[in-house]
Amino acid sequence: MIASFSKILCLIMFIAILNLSLYAVEAYQVIFQGVSHPETLSLLQTISKTVELQSSPPSTNRGLKRRAEADLPLLIKALHSQAYYQAKVNVEVNFNNQTAQVVFKINTGPVYPLASFEILPSDLKNDLTSLYTNWNKEELGLTLGRPAFPKSILDAEELLILKLEREGYPLAKIVDREVIADQSTHSIYVVLRVNTGPKCYFGEVKFLGLQRVSSEFVSKKIAWHLGDIYHPTPIERTHGALEATGLFSSISITHLDNASQEGLLPIEIEVLEGKHRSIAAGIGYSTDDGLGILGEWEHRNIRGRGEKLSFKALMAQRLQEGTLAYVIPDFQRSNQDLIWLAEFQRQTTKGFHASSFSVSGILERQLNDYTRLSYGGMFKRLRDTHSDNNGNFNLFKIPFQLRWKKTNNILDPTQGLALHVKIIPSLQILHPKFAYCINTFTGFIYLPLTSDKRFVFAAKGTFGSIFGKKRHTIPPSERFYAGNENLLRGYHFMTVSPLHDNEPIGGRSMMIYSLEGRWRATETWGGVIFYDFGNVFKNYLPQFNKQILQSAGIGLRYNTPVGPLRIDLAIPLHRRYHIDEKFQVYLSIGQAF
């Protein structure tokens, strides 16, 4: 009896397995019929869950049918997004073949063009249609007669509200939207009813979240005055100015939803203060100068009003320097900083040994989004030895700098232009008195070679000239030299200059160019090829009959949040024997320029 029961159980299991095999779906094809437009077909394939889950077929035929039928409303919605407002979709599932077929039969119908787009006031008592009746539909991204894509209509609504905000109506809103699909003309008619709200003016400002930063300091960063017509641009400028202080980890500037009877709209500035102290360290390396270590400490809110105190030190084989800086922001006017500096430097090169201490006061002003101007006074105590003019110098300087930069990125620009002008009149104030002026002009260009900016051509040109006394009178360490990671890579450190017995003696003018081809292979890695050429000259203007030194090399870039990690290998193409090595290697952070 037990044997008979076992046989019956085995028979039942066999029938069940056979039944499952008859109804199981091993694989299936998805076919879209009736769609000829490639972009529309691609959209439907992307939207379809039947396509997305094709590698995981359901266990039964019924399950495949349910999966396909669930796609129908999704496909209809996708077709509507392409302005096919009369679209119809049916589905058939064919199990006759070895591989099941899911066939979506689509009748797109005609594309519905936009026939009309009207903007009407929601309240006739407060009719401000003169604000927007003269606006071209193109200003809202619409063209009558073109397909009435739903996204285009929604985008136009957003642009409408933004334009009203820029006219001084930040409380404007769309009260009603009526979209009519005329089946007889196969066209779309849109009517928007808008409540502009009152014309608004900047009202009282309330600060939220301030702890150690004073409200007086934040007030100086506000780019509007009480009673100014409301406009989003001053808000954007204020947000940028607060962000640039480095004091806040989060900034939000919003207006309330109710204005006063006079139209004054209260503004709230809510911030979250970040850490005000930071410590940083970095390293650099070159075959000439060996390993360099950089350390920095900074307090960005030393007295509660955004004053910045920092100390920076660099220790390398040929250069040691320390800088103590104190910055008072918004000194006497907005966007103007007073910078006090105390600097010590010791430098060792083949042409001179120099040690100096200087103190300076600098005013730095932000003229506009792209331009910074600085000027001030400096006293520098300088001692030069191992040179052609050893001695102690007491120098009074009036440094002037102009920086104009219009690039798309500070750390790793791929497009734009920049210009840096530096003029430093200098006076030896003790006997023997003499004067000279150090002038340098540097231009930069960044040109993307492809639309994705993976290939970039970058160029830098530097021109320098020292007017005044003859070269021998000017302190050796104040003259021009090249041969480093910034000027003529590949040549021995600070030896590109006029020579005397193969020893550099410095020049009064220079003209040096750098050309780079930059390639970003991945989001992390990139490469560079470069070509540098130029020289340093004896007279105050370049002498074109003198030799132009050239170098070439390759580099590797590894992108980090603080800029690309850079390693360059440079070869001097006009190697000066007994002076230059066969190559130089540079390791640092940031692009070469």
Report pLDDT digits (tens) over 179-200: 999 988 999 999 999 998 899 9
Q: Report the alpha-carbon distance of residue 572 to residue 586 in Å, rounded.
A: 14
Name the token pair of 562. 């603080």
Which CB contacts under 8 angstroms, 24+ apart, belong to 60-64? 60/23, 60/24, 60/25, 61/23, 61/25, 61/93, 61/95, 61/100, 62/23, 63/25, 64/25, 64/28, 64/93, 64/100, 64/102
Q: Is the dihedral of CA 580, 585, 587, 588 positive or negative?
A: positive
pLDDT at residue 495 greater than cutoff 60 = yes
Q: What is the DSSP string of 314-334?
A: EE-SSEEEEEEEEEETT-SST
**Residues with Cβ < 8 Å from 409, sequence gap 6 or more?**
none
Name the token pair of 128. 């401000």
Q: How many CB atoms lie within 10 A of CB 7?
A: 10
- The DSSP 8-state label assigned to residue 253 in this structure reads E
pLDDT at residue 366 greater than cutoff 80 = yes
Residues of 88-116 as b/e, b for ≥16 C-beta within 10 angstroms? ebebebeeeeeebebbbebebeebbbbbe
Residues of 476-495 as b/e, b for ≥16 C-beta within 10 angstroms? bbbbbbbbbbbbbbbbbbbb
468 or 25, higher pLDDT: 468
Q: Strand (E) positions, 233-318?
A: 248-255, 264-273, 277-286, 290-299, 308-315
pLDDT at residue 227 greater than cutoff 90 = yes
In the block, tokens 């204020």 appear at 238
pLDDT at 2 (0 to 100): 43
Answer yes or no: are the C-beta atoms of 274 and 242 closer than 8 Å.
Answer: no
* Domains identified in the chain and CATH numbers: 21-107 (3.10.20.310), 114-195 (3.10.20.310), 201-273 (3.10.20.310), 277-589 (2.40.160.50)
- Please, which pLDDT band fits residue 124 given cuts at 50, 70 and 90? low
- Please, which pLDDT band fits residue 122 given cuts at 50, 70 and 90? confident
- Dump pLDDT digits (tens) for 417-471: 999 999 999 999 998 899 999 999 999 999 999 999 999 999 999 999 999 988 8
Instruction: Classify strands 400-407 and 416-428 as parallel, antiparallel or unpaired.
Output: antiparallel
- Please, which pLDDT band fits residue 335 given cuts at 50, 70 and 90? confident
The continuous run of DSSP H or E covering 448 comes out as: strand 434-448
Q: Report the alpha-carbon distance of residue 543 to residue 550 in Å, rounded.
A: 16
Q: Report the alpha-carbon distance of residue 240 to residue 234 in Å, rounded.
A: 10
Nearest to 511 by CA among 420, 418, 424, 442: 442
pLDDT at 11 (0 to 100): 44
Answer yes or no: are the C-beta atoms of 25 and 60 closer than 8 Å.
Answer: yes
- Dump pLDDT digits (tens) for 126-173: 656 666 666 778 888 899 999 999 999 999 999 999 999 999 999 999
pLDDT at residue 13 greater than cutoff 80 = no
Percentage of the residues of the chain whose pLDDT score is greater than 90: 76
Name the token pair of 73. 């409303």
- Please, which pLDDT band fits residue 381 given cuts at 50, 70 and 90? very high
Mean pLDDT, range 307-332, rounded to an integer: 94
Exposed, middle or buried: residue 235 (CB in 10 Å: 0-12, 13-18, 19+)? buried
